[in-house]
Structure 1
Amino acid sequence: MKLTKREHSCLVLEQAGETLIVDPGSFTLPLTDARGVVAIVITHEHPDHWTPEHLRRILDVNSDAQIFGPAGVVTAAEGFDVTEVAAGDTHVVGPFTLRFFGGSHAEIHRSIPIVDNVGVLVNDELYYAGDSFTIPEGVEVGTLAVPASAPWLKIAEVMDYVDAVKPQRSFPVHEMLLSVAGKSLSNARIGSVTEQNGGQFSPLEPGESLDL
């Protein structure tokens, strides 16, 4: 399975000639090369994780692609056919097995409503928790997508999360609000905890890929 990181939290996964796209949001450049898309996962309703424009652009070329998201996404993406998912659900689409975890976005501030959010485990290898620190209980995570910066986190929490999951490999996501200096700092912290637990850190930039 080939993973390509796009801007912010957008991930493109390819296997057996088919493609899965996760969280194509407002910080992500247009996915004009998206072909063979069988599924789109949207972890939650915030616009940095999905936009109607991205969905229309993908569906114009891949009309049979299925969209998966929690209840809040079903409501927010009115007009799109979204399959509602929640923690404990499993769906198989083409070569991709999707297992869902969690249920709620991390708290940003007590004055801001908490929205639905799901984490997704792809093919029992790649885990991405959306905007949360949900740990997939009972799962040995091969590759972990780690949130590097957000209004809802601090780097100590990120480090504790990586330490708890203990992935074999990690890479940063959700980092478009960081400067170059900020990326260097967060990458160093995420990398150090990953490596302390015997894993490997890959500081992926948009457009770079890993073979999983």
Structure 2
Amino acid sequence: MRVTKYEHAALRIDEAGRALIIDPGSFTSPLDDLQNVVGVVLTHEHPDHWTPQHLDRLRKSVPNVPIYAPEGVAKAAPGYDIIVVHPGDTVTLEPFTLEFFGGTHAVIHESIPVVDNVGVLVNDEFYYPGDSYTVPKGRDVALLAAPIGAPWLKIGEAMDFVLAVKPRQAFGTHDMTVSQVGRDMGRARLTWATEQNGGAFLSLDPGDSTDI
């Protein structure tokens, strides 16, 4: 299974000639090579994780591509056929098995409403929490996409999240809101956290891939 990082929070997973797209949002350049996409996962409704333009491009390439997301996305995107998923749900989408965790977005501020958010575990190996610190308890995570920068993020909490997940490998995501210096600092902190349980941190830039 190959995981490719794009700008900010967008990810692509390839397996057996098919692909899954996660969170193509407003900070992500238009994606190409979409003909083999068999599904889309949107972790929550914020525009840095999905846009109508990205979904329209995906549906143009694959007209009936299923889109999985929590209820908040279905309400925010009424023109799209969203398949609502909840924490605890498992979806089989050959060759992918998707298991969903969490339920709510991390708190930004008490004045800002907390929205629905799901983390997703793909094929029991790759985990992405969306905008949360939800730990997939009891799972042996081979590869973790860990957030580096956000209005809701404190780097110490992101480090604790990585320490709790104990991935064998990790890389940074959700990083377009920080400077180059800030991204490098965040990567250094998450490197330390990953290594505490014997894991390795990967410095992936947009377009870079790694295999599990």
| Interval containing the TM-score (normalised by the shorter chain) | over 0.9
What percentage of aligned pairs have identical amino acids?
A: 56
Name the residue aligned to 1:144. Answer: 144
Name the residue aligned to 1:47. Answer: 47
Deviations 1:162-200 (A, max 9, x none): 111110000000000111111110000000110121001
Name the residue aligned to 2:103. Answer: 103
Q: 1:18 corresponds to which letter in structure 2?
A: R
Say which SS state the counterpart of residue 210 (structure 1) adopts: strand
Runs of 4+ off more than 2 Å: none
Deviations 1:97-148 (A, max 9, x none): 0000000000000000000000000000000010000011111111111000
Q: 2:122 corresponds to which letter in structure 1?
A: V
Q: Distance in 1 between matches of 2:38 and 2:64?
A: 7
Q: How many residues matched?
A: 212
Residues 101-140 of structure 1: pairs in structure 2 closer than 5 A: 101-140=101-140
Unaligned runs of 5+ in 1: none
Name the residue aligned to 1:180. Answer: 180
Residues 1-212 of structure 1: pairs in structure 2 closer than 5 A: 1-212=1-212
Q: Distance in 2 between matches of 1:208 and 1:93?
A: 24
Deviation at 1:33, TM superposition (A): 2.2
C-alpha RMSD of the superposition:
0.7
Q: Distance in 2 between matches of 1:164 and 1:61?
A: 39
Q: 2:85 corresponds to which letter in structure 1?
A: V
Q: Which moved more, 1:59-68 or 1:22-31?
A: 59-68
Q: 1:172 corresponds to which letter in structure 2?
A: G
Say which SS state the counterpart of residue 185 (structure 1) adopts: helix
**TM-score if structure 1 supplies the norm length?**
0.99
Q: 2:6 corresponds to which letter in structure 1?
A: R
Say which SS state the counterpart of residue 29 (structure 2) adopts: coil
Q: 1:104 corresponds to which letter in structure 2?
A: T
Q: 1:77 corresponds to which letter in structure 2?
A: A
Deviations 1:61-91 (A, max 9, x none): 1112110000001111111111000000000
Q: Distance in 2 between matches of 1:132 and 1:66?
A: 24
Deviation at 1:35, TM superposition (A): 2.1
Q: Distance in 1 between matches of 2:71 and 2:64?
A: 21
Say which SS state the counterpart of residue 149 (structure 1) adopts: coil
Deviation at 1:43, TM superposition (A): 0.1
Say which SS state the counterpart of residue 4 (structure 1) adopts: strand
Q: Distance in 2 between matches of 1:137 and 1:193?
A: 18
Q: 2:91 corresponds to which letter in structure 1?
A: H
Deviations 1:6-57 (A, max 9, x none): 0001000111111100000000000122221110000000000000000000
Q: 1:153 corresponds to which letter in structure 2?
A: L
**TM-score if structure 2 supplies the norm length?**
0.99
Unaligned runs of 5+ in 2: none
Q: 2:131 corresponds to which letter in structure 1?
A: D
Q: Distance in 1 between matches of 2:73 and 2:12?
A: 20
